[in-house]
Amino acid sequence: MTGRVEVRGRDVAREAYRIETDAGAAFVPECLMASALRPGARPSHQDAYEWIAAHRTALARAVDRLARGDTPRPPYDILTLIEAR
């Protein structure tokens, strides 16, 4: 499962990137990326996009689980589902 994952921008207040998958949309906290890139630092947009691309399968799986009401496996359990309007 590769899954479609599109970045829909950054939410400054949440310090998270919005992603959209076939199962729904979610916020990916920057702290999840920072631990792999530069601990304690906010990732650049380029770093964030590359990290999301490298982890797209796990992110798509996590959003799918959230959309079904399940809890994703750590560390993806800190994603927040964006409810459809």
Measure CA 37 to chain center. Answer: 15
On whether the CB atoms of residues 22 and 39 are closer than 8 A, the answer is no
On whether the CB atoms of residues 23 and 30 are closer than 8 A, the answer is no
Residue with tokens 């590769």: 2
Confidence of residue 1 (pLDDT cuts 50, 70, 90): low
Q: In the predicted model, what is the mean pLDDT of residues 24-53?
A: 85
* pLDDT of residue 85 exceeding 90: no
SS3 46: helix
